[in-house]
Chain A
Amino acid sequence: MDIDDVYTDLAILNKDYNTLKLKNNIIDNQIKFYNNLLYTMLHAYYKSLTVYNN
C-alpha cells in the first residue's frame, strides 16, 4: 500500500471520527436539555400542587 493512500484513508477516517464525535456531543446536549425540561416541569408541578392543596 502506498503511503499516500494510507494518509488519504487516515484523513477520511479523521473526518468521520470528528463528525461522529460532534454528533455525539449534540446528542449529549439534547439529553441534558430534555432532562432540564423534565426537572423544571416536575418542580412546577410540585409548586402547583402545593398551591392548589393549601
Chain B
Amino acid sequence: MLNTKGFIKPKVYNDIINTTFNSSSNDEFVNLIYDKNINTIKNNIINKNENNIIDKIENNIIDKIQDTQSIDTIFQNTKLNTIPEKIATVIDENKKDIYFDENINSYIINFNNKTHTISNTEIFNSITNNKITDTVIEDFIFNIMNIDNIIEYKFINNTTFSNDIDMLFKLQNFIYDIIINSTFQNNDIDTQNSLILFYYHLIIFMFKTPFNIKYDTNKINNIFSKLSYRFASIILKQNEKLQIQCNNINSKLNKLNNDKDNLHTKINLINEKFDAETSTPSSITNNTSNTTDDILKSTTSLNITNSTDDILKSTTSLNITNSKQDNSQSIDNNNNCSNLVNTVISSTSITTEELKEKFINNSSKLNTEIIPTDTNDELTEIYQSINIIPKNNLDDISNIDDKNVQNIEIDDDIKPILINNINDNDFKLLSVGNSKLNNTYTFDKTFFINK
C-alpha cells in the first residue's frame, strides 16, 4: 500500500483545528509552523475544494516507486547479458524470428507464420548417426553429404538459423561442451570424430558467412578468435591423446621385436641341434658328405697313416708270434726286416694313390661309405686288408701282450722310412702273410705311441 514515510499526515483533522497555542514548550515555534502549514492546507482544501489532493500525491509517489523497480529490473537484465554468449538487446523473444528456449533445449524458429522447433538432441543424433533425423534440421541448419564414405556437413546459406550468429554460437557451445567434457571410449571414437568434423564445418561456415551486415565487427572478431582458440585446443588435445596411444603401441612393438629375435634364436638353435642329430656319427661318413676334395684329403691321409702304422703293427704282431720260435735270428734279419718294412710302406703309399682313384669312384657312386668292390685283384685285397685294420693304433698297442713284448729286442737305430723306395712286390709278400717272414722285428714301442 501507500508508503507515507516522510509525509506528515495528521491523524484527525479536528485535533489540528482545535489545537491551541497555550503551550509554552520549546516546540512552540515548530507548532506555529506546523499550524501554519496545516492551516494552509486546510484553507486550500476548503477554498479550492481539492479533497483528493492527498490521493494524487500518493499516486505520484507510487508511480515513482514503480519506475524505480522497473529500472532495477532492466539493470539486472543487462547485468545477466554481460556474459558473452548472451550479448543481446532486451527484446521480447516472442517477436523474433528465432530464439533459443533453455527449458526445452531447442531452437524456436518463426518462419512463414509457422513455428518450427529444432532440439539440440536431434542435432546431436543427426551428427552421430550421419543421417538427418529431423527434416527441419535439413531446412534450416545443415544436411549431410556422403560421398564415397566421406561425410561432409553442409550448412545451408541464408536461412533464419544460419544468418543468426548468436544461434550458430549457441550450437557451437553445445557441440564444444560435448567434445570437451565427454570421455570417449574406444567404441565412441567414430562419434568423437564426427563431432569434431561437424565442429570444424560449423566454424568454417561461420568464418565464411558475411555477418558484418547485421553485427558489430568487434563482436564478430571476439567470437571468431574464441572459435579458433577452441578448435585449436580441441585438435591439440586430441593429437596429444593420439600421440600417447602411438607411444604405447611403439613400446609394445619394440617388445614384440625383442620377442621375435628371441624366437628366431631359438629356431636357429633347434635347427642346428636337428642337423647335428640327423648327420651320421662316423667321421668317415661325415667326410664323405662333404666335398670330394675334403673327402680325399681326410680319407687318404687317414689311409696313409693307418696303412703305414697298421702294417707295421701287423708285421710286428707277426714278428711277435715268430719271436717265440726263433729269437736267435732276430739280429741277423734285422736289416732285412727294416727293408721289408720300408718296402711295405712304400708299396702302401703307391697303392694308396691307386686306392685314391678307387675311392673317388666309389664315393662318387655312393657318396656315403666306402664299400669294397668284388674284384679279386690284388689291389682290392690290399684295400680290404687296410680297411680291416683297426683305426685306433693305441688300442692295438694296448692289446699287445706284455710277456711277448719283453722278449722283443728294441733297436733304436731304426731309420726314417723312404716311402718311394717301397715296391709293390714287397707289399704283396706282406699282405698275403708270407711265411718267409719268420724273423723277429725289433722296434721302439714309443714310436707308435708318439704317432
- Kindly identify which residue among A23, A41, A45, A52 contacts B217, using a CB–CB cutoff of 8 Å: A52
Known: A13-B260, A31-B239. A20 touches B253 (CB 8 A): yes
From residue 241 to 299 of chain B, which have CB atoms closer than 8 A to chain A?
Answer: 242-243, 245-246, 249-250, 252-253, 256-257, 259-260, 263-264, 266-267, 270-271, 274
Q: Judge if B232 is at the interface, Cβ distance under 8 Å.
A: yes
Contact check, B212 vs A13: say whether CB atoms are below 8 A apart: no
Contact check, A20 vs B249: say whether CB atoms are below 8 A apart: yes
Q: How distant is B237 from chain A, measured CB to nearest CB, in Å?
A: 10
Q: Judge if B40 is at the interface, Cβ distance under 8 Å.
A: no
CB neighbours (8 Å) of B253 from chain A are 17, 20-21, 24
Q: How distant is A18 from chain B, measured CB to nearest CB, in Å?
A: 10
Interface residues of B (CB under 8 A from A): 196-197, 200, 203-204, 207-208, 212, 217, 220-221, 224-225, 227-228, 231-232, 235-236, 238-239, 242-243, 245-246, 249-250, 252-253, 256-257, 259-260, 263-264, 266-267, 270-271, 274
CB neighbours (8 Å) of A17 from chain B are 253, 256-257, 260
Can you name 19 A-B pairs with beta carbons within 8 Å?
A: A1-B266, A3-B274, A6-B266, A6-B267, A13-B256, A13-B259, A16-B256, A17-B256, A20-B249, A20-B252, A27-B242, A27-B246, A31-B243, A41-B204, A44-B208, A45-B225, A45-B227, A48-B207, A48-B208
CB neighbours (8 Å) of A42 from chain B are 228, 232
Contact check, A14 vs B266: say whether CB atoms are below 8 A apart: no
Main DSSP-derived SS at the A contact region? helix
Main DSSP-derived SS at the B contact region? helix
Contact check, A52 vs B242: say whether CB atoms are below 8 A apart: no
A47 — nearest CB in chain B belongs to which residue? Answer: B207
Interface residue count for A (Cβ, 8 Å)?
A: 32
CB neighbours (8 Å) of B263 from chain A are 6, 9-10, 13
A16 — nearest CB in chain B belongs to which residue? Answer: B256
- Kindly identify which residue among B197, B224, B236, B270 contacts A45, using a CB–CB cutoff of 8 Å: B224
CB neighbours (8 Å) of A23 from chain B are 249
CB neighbours (8 Å) of A35 from chain B are 235, 239
**Most central of A10, A23, A48 by chain B CB within 10 Å:** A48
Contact check, B203 vs A41: say whether CB atoms are below 8 A apart: yes
From residue 40 to 54 of chain A, which have CB atoms closer than 8 A to chain B?
Answer: 40-42, 44-45, 47-49, 52-53
New contact pairs (13) apart from A13-B256, A38-B231, A45-B224, CB-CB < 8 Å = A6-B266, A6-B270, A10-B267, A13-B260, A27-B245, A31-B239, A31-B246, A34-B239, A35-B235, A37-B196, A44-B203, A45-B207, A48-B207
Cα A49 to Cα B271 with chains together (Å)? 71
CB neighbours (8 Å) of B236 from chain A are 38
Cα A9 to Cα B203 with chains together (Å)? 51
- Kindly identify which residue among B235, B239, B256 contacts A20, using a CB–CB cutoff of 8 Å: B256
Cα A7 to Cα B271 with chains together (Å)? 12
Cα A21 to Cα B253 with chains together (Å)? 8
Contact check, B260 vs A14: say whether CB atoms are below 8 A apart: yes
CB neighbours (8 Å) of A44 from chain B are 203-204, 207-208
Contact check, B267 vs A45: say whether CB atoms are below 8 A apart: no
Contact check, A45 vs B239: say whether CB atoms are below 8 A apart: no
A9 — nearest CB in chain B belongs to which residue? Answer: B263
Contact check, B200 vs A41: say whether CB atoms are below 8 A apart: yes
Cα A19 to Cα B245 with chains together (Å)? 14
Q: How distant is B233 from chain A, measured CB to nearest CB, in Å?
A: 10
CB neighbours (8 Å) of B227 from chain A are 45
Known: A6-B266, A17-B256, A52-B212. A24 touches B246 (CB 8 A): yes
CB neighbours (8 Å) of B266 from chain A are 1, 6
Cα A18 to Cα B267 with chains together (Å)? 21
Cα A30 to Cα B259 with chains together (Å)? 29
CB neighbours (8 Å) of B270 from chain A are 1, 3, 6
Contact check, B221 vs A52: say whether CB atoms are below 8 A apart: yes
CB neighbours (8 Å) of B220 from chain A are 52
Known: A3-B270, A13-B263, A40-B204. A48 touches B239 (CB 8 A): no
Q: How distant is A33 from chain B, measured CB to nearest CB, in Å?
A: 9
CB neighbours (8 Å) of A20 from chain B are 249, 252-253, 256
Cα A6 to Cα B259 with chains together (Å)? 11
